[in-house]
Amino acid sequence: MKIALDILQVLMLILGAPLVGAIIARLKARLQRRRGASIWRPYAELFKLLRKEELVPPTASAVFRLAPIVLFGATVCAAGFVPVVHASALLGSRGDFFLLVYMLALGRFFLSLGALDGGSAFGGMGASREALVSSLAEAPFLLGLVSIAVLAARADIAGMVAWTLGQDVFNISAVHILAFTSLAMVALAETGRMPVDNPTTHLELTMIHEGMVLEYSGPSLALIEWASAIKLHAMLALLIALFFPWGMASSGSGWGLTVALLLYCAKTALLMVLLSVIESAVAKLRMYLVPDFLGVASALSALAVIFTIWVKR
Amino acid sequence: MREDTPSLFPNSGRASSGTAFTLPQSEDGGAARLVTIFGSLDPHGARRVRYVFDAGKPAYSEIVLPAEGPLRSIAREVPAAAWHERELHDQYGIEIVGHPDLRPLVFHDNWPDGVYPMVDRVDDVPWSKRDYRFLQVQGEGIAEVAVGPVHAGIIEPGHFRFSVVGDTILHLELRHFYTHKGTEKLFEGKSAGDGAMLAESVSGDNCFAHAVCYSQAVEDACGIKVPPRALALRLIGLELERLVCHISDIGGLCTDVGFSVAAAYATRIKESLLQASVQCCGTRYWRGVAVPGGLRFDFDSARVAELAQAVARAFRDFSKIARLSLETPSIQNRFEAAGVLSREAARDLAVVGPVARASGIDLDVRRDHPYGRYSEHPIEVPVTHYGDVMARARIRISEAAVSARLIQEAAKSLPDGGVFTPIASQGDVQGFSAVESPRGELCYWVEARGGRVTRCHIKSPSFQNWPAMPLAVAGNIIADFPLINKSFNLSYSGCDR
């Protein structure tokens, strides 16, 4: 029963991912008083790309073809660590939060390699910027998770969530606030959202993620697009699980699971609204201010770790 | 960095030979602003070169030189002349001595050496393969980034070659003229009346300014007076075009920094004006409206009043969204101090339009050389000296306000009467006209014999302003280039012709 639920959770993260991106795009369209595209469009797009011919630059090596597969696999693995409807995950006890962070890093590393292998100037430019952003995002990502791990005295994500569930909702500490803010900022950078990267731009010189995927087409592009969607969904689910887990099912009863699922959808919806408002309210940062943005995230997460000393357990 | 070598630019070296003249002075004693340089053929087929300067008087001053022999370049004294002289060399094969860089400008590698379209036949030009050498910037850590001519977005083609150190741009070299259509050649043999349609096709979003400017040049050549009603309607069209262009530019700037809400609103407001134009005259961009002698058809006065109301509404919405955008800290952070064009550079390159006014050059054809009914309306010309993206955005917003006011005034005092005076085909005539298009000073010079155009020169503001772009982007990061480029908003088609 438990294992079936765990598998279901991962499938939810993978199959629901395109929907999350589409709903954010739809919300942003509504804020611009546009009608916006159908929320099912990304599925049609993935289906279309999977059936299309794949074009590979003549100078590219096997890395170019391999990169999207590794990226997709690593992202799915990372999603396997995230609890959604109950405080356990498919890969929950098989690795700690470090593994989650570096699974995402592995995927990104391979995507950068693929971009360099594609041979276009924009691939290289995107890859170097991605390397800068991700190396700066790594510290706050890890420190933010460390602060919660210290409080929970557990290193696996599912264990940290289980500990949080045992706490009183109103008994939140400064550590939680600091860690949440820092991880939310990391999530923006990590998933290539505004104000760090503009996912809708057509200007090749300003691109980060889009620059890396310019040379990709067909099934490879589908895998990359899907992987980024899963990453966004998994990051949102991770934020919910770590900071707002209350309502997760404690037993396998049908009633508890239904409530947990509905609450999860409501929490995700809230985060999506928040994200679309943030993305609509600010202009993209100048490229050399991205380190400042992530520097603030690092400082917040470092404070979170320091404050764990004073939190009563 | 390596200096330009003689092998790259074979005609460099300070030569004293070649026909020369004294550069005109402006009223305040400085050098007069170069407007354009172009060639023409006299009735016997001999080449001549005309230099047009703006010395501050109501009329432009023109200098005509015979050009069968070599001509001394003025590009070292007047850097703005550099592209004009290169174009002259490409079109007429006129030898220009002492020019710092005489590489082909208008024609690309497929065009054979020694074929000059304005003097030779061009029915059957063989495909050729020439060699084009880009300026090389060398040194440790310098990389070259080539962008275009095909871009990721749906925009016009143009090639940009950046020499960068890390993310900082050291040098930008432009290579344009991918949309060169030989428009000036296509004018030859057209009847003077039909030319307006060709002029409209030079630059899509400034088509009315081109049509009016061409028409004015023909009217100047034939010495006809256009009925006041036609002039007033032309003024409305020109100002509406400027308003649409500026609203679209502010929206484009917001799009480029990902400020999507303001961008979407600007698109909506622009569309409302285009649809109001359809209601008023049946065309979104006023195509097929202006013609030498006046307008092709009269407008219903009630419809013009409705258009003026739509303009008032649109401008109200636009000023709200523009203020909101420029007061947003993240926008200020992106716009301020980005892409600064210094006043000296702008003056040396004789930059025109909003770009010049944002760099402290007080210049507006509507006020300095009034045409049509502009002499009856006082025109405030906004000028600021910062020269950055923010300054260009602010200039556009202030100009939009002036345009909205002018449309109201002109619509309120619309004269009655006809809108067309037939042009009488005469002998050998020449006419010149300048119009303040949304991008700046646009000039047409038309020569006609027996009602047929024998030469038409188009000086577009984009041709004049493109060489200033590399100076504005140097020292900025490469990721800011699209924003700086958008703030100039130059037309490729208008430049390439």
Show the domain range for A194.
2-310
Cα A302 to Cα A143, A189, B327: the distances in Å are 6, 18, 33
Two tokens, residue B349: 């390159």
Q: Is the Cβ of A282 closer than 8 Å to some Cβ of chain B?
A: yes
CA atoms within 13 A on the CB side of B205: 18
pLDDT of the residue at B8: 39
In this complex, is the C-beta atom of B478 within 8 Å of any C-beta atom belonging to chain A?
A: yes
Chain B, residues 155-174, CB within 8 A of chain A, namely 167
- Please tell me if residue B484 touches chain A, with a CB cutoff of 8 Å: no
Q: Which two tokens stand for residue B106?
A: 């208008």
Chain A contact for B154 (CB, 8 A cutoff): yes
Query: E strand or H helix at B97, and its extent?
Result: strand B96-97
Report the alpha-carbon distance of residue B308 to residue B280 in Å, rounded. Answer: 10
Suggest the residue from A130, A132, A206 to mutate for an interface test with chain B (most B CBs closer than 10 A): A206
pTM, rounded to two decimals: 0.88
Best of A120, A198, A205 to mutate (most B CBs within 10 Å, chain B): A205
Q: What is the largest CA-CA distance in chain A?
A: 61
Distance between CA atoms of A184 and A191, rounded to whole angstroms?
11
Nearest to B145 among A121, A285, A288 (CB): A121
Pairing status of strand B294-295 against strand B290-291: antiparallel
A120 close contact with B: CB closer than 8 A: no
- The position carrying tokens 């958008």 is B486
B147 and A202 in contact by Cβ < 8 A? no
B239 near A CB under 8 A: no
Sequence-distant (6+) residues with CB within 8 A of B409 are B377
In angstroms, the CA B383 to CA B399 distance is 10
Q: A206 at the B interface (CB within 8 A)?
A: yes
B480: chain A residues, CB-CB within 8 Å: 286-287
Q: What is the CA radius of gyration of chain B?
A: 22
- And the tokens for A172? 């939140």
| Residue B199 token pair | 């002029």
**CA dist list (Å): A12 to A23, A39, B428:** 16, 16, 80
In total, chain A counts a number of residues equal to 313
Q: Which residues of B touch A33 (CB under 8 A)?
A: 264-265, 268
CA neighbor of B291 nearest in space, from B212, B224, B226, B229:
B212
- Which of the 8 DSSP states describes residue B152? S
Contact A204, B147 (CB under 8 A): yes
Any CB–CB contact under 8 A between B480 and chain A? yes
List, for residues A196-222, the tens digit of each pLDDT value.
Answer: 888 888 888 888 888 889 889 999 999
Asked if B433 and B220 count as a contact pair (C-beta separation under 8 A), the reply is yes
Flag if A286 and B481 touch (Cβ within 8 Å).
no
Phi-psi region of B286 (alpha: psi -120 to 50; beta: other; left: phi over 0): left
List of chain B residues with pLDDT < 50? 1-15
A209–chain B Cβ distance below 8 A for any pair: no
Supply B469's token pair.
């772009």
For residue B433, give every residue at least 6 positions away whose Cβ sits within 8 Å of its Cβ, in sequence order, or none. Answer: B213, B214, B216, B217, B219, B220, B371, B443, B444
Q: What is the pLDDT of residues B105-144, one digit of tens each?
A: 998 888 888 889 888 888 888 888 888 888 888 888 898 8
Is residue A110 within 8 A of residue A74, CB to CB? The reply is yes
Residue B184, amino acid: E
Which residues of chain B are within 8 Å of residue A201 when distances are taken between CB atoms? 256, 258
Which two structure tokens, joined as six digits, stand for B186?
Answer: 């296509």
Q: Does the beta-carbon distance from B477 to A287 stay under 8 Å? A: yes
Residues of A in contact with B481 (CB under 8 A): 205
The DSSP output letter for A85 is S
Does pLDDT of A88 surpass 90? no
> Are A33 and B151 a contacting pair at CB < 8 A?
no
Name the residue with tokens 């005092």. Answer: B413
Contacts of residue A221, Cβ cutoff 8 Å, sequence gap at least 6: A49, A68, A213
A33: contact with B, CB 8 A cutoff: yes
Partner-chain residue, chosen from A33, A206, A280, that has the shortest CB–CB distance to B482 = A206
Number of domains in chain A: 1
Contact B258 A198 (CB under 8 A): yes
Distance CA B250, CA B487 (A): 8
Beta bridge partners of A300: none
Burial of A262-294, coded b for 16+ CB within 10 Å and e otherwise, reads: ebbeebbeebbeebbeebbebbbbbbebbeebb
B328 touches chain A (CB under 8 A): yes
Q: CB B258 to CB A121 under 8 A?
A: no
Contact B51, B37 (CB under 8 A): yes
**Three-state SS at B171:** strand
* Tokens, residue B117: 């379209």
Contact A203 B152 (CB under 8 A): yes
From the number of C-beta atoms within 10 Å of its C-beta (0-12, 13-18, 19+), residue B359 rates as buried
> Nearest chain A Cα to B264, which residue?
A32
DSSP codes joined into one string, A17-72: HHHHHHHHHHHHHHHTT-----TTHHHHHHHHHHHS-----TT--HHHHHHHHHHH
Two structure tokens written together for B451: 């009602």
Sign of CA dihedral B362, B364, B369, B374: negative
Q: Tell me whether residues B331 and A283 touch, CB distance under 8 A.
A: yes
Complex ipTM > 0.90: no
Q: Which pLDDT does position B4 carry in this prediction?
A: 40
Phi first, then psi, for residue B162 (nearest 5°) are: -95, 140
Give which of B257, B268, B325 to mutate to test A binding, by max A Cβ within 10 Å: B257
| 3-state secondary structure at position B19 | strand
Beta pairing partners, B64? B50
Token match 């023909």: residue? B218
For the structural domain made of B215-439, what CATH number should be given?
1.10.645.10
Whole-number Å distance between alpha carbons of A117 and A95 = 31
pLDDT at A313: 57
pLDDT in tens, A143-194: 999 999 998 888 888 888 988 888 887 777 888 899 999 999 999 998 988 8
Cβ-Cβ contacts under 8 Å, A289 against chain B:
333
